[in-house]
Amino acid sequence: MRRAFTLIEMIVVMAITAILITLIGIPLVQGLNLTRASQAFAEAQDMSREVISRINKELSTAALVVDNSVPESAVEIVLPLRGNANLGYVRLHNAKIDFVPPAQGDPTNPQVNPGRNRIDPTLKSAIGQVILPVAPGQRMIRYWAGLRRPVDANGDRAIYVNPWVPKMTGAIDGNENLYVLYRAEVLPYVWNQTLGRYVPNTDLFAVDPQNGQAIINDPGFFEHTPSVFLDNANAHRARLANWIREARLVVQD
- Beta pairing, strands 64-65 & 96-100: antiparallel
Residue 29 or residue 49, greater confidence: 49
Q: HEC profile for 172-212?
A: CCCCCECEEEEEEEECCEEEECCCCEEEECCCCCCECCCCC
Q: Indicate the residue type of 127.
A: I
Residue 74 or residue 3, greater confidence: 74
Confidence check: pLDDT of 5 > 90: no
Confidence check: pLDDT of 160 > 90: no
Angle among Cα 240, 244, 248 to the nearest 5 degrees reads: 145
Distance separating alpha carbons of residues 130 and 234, to the nearest angstrom: 41
Query: Confidence band (pLDDT; 50, 70, 90) for 124?
Result: low
Across 214-238, average pLDDT:
92
Q: What are phi and psi of 251, to 5 degrees?
A: -130, 120
Distance separating alpha carbons of residues 75 and 72, to the nearest angstrom: 8
Domain layout of the chain by residue ranges = 7-61, 65-101+139-249
Residue 102 is predicted with a pLDDT of 84
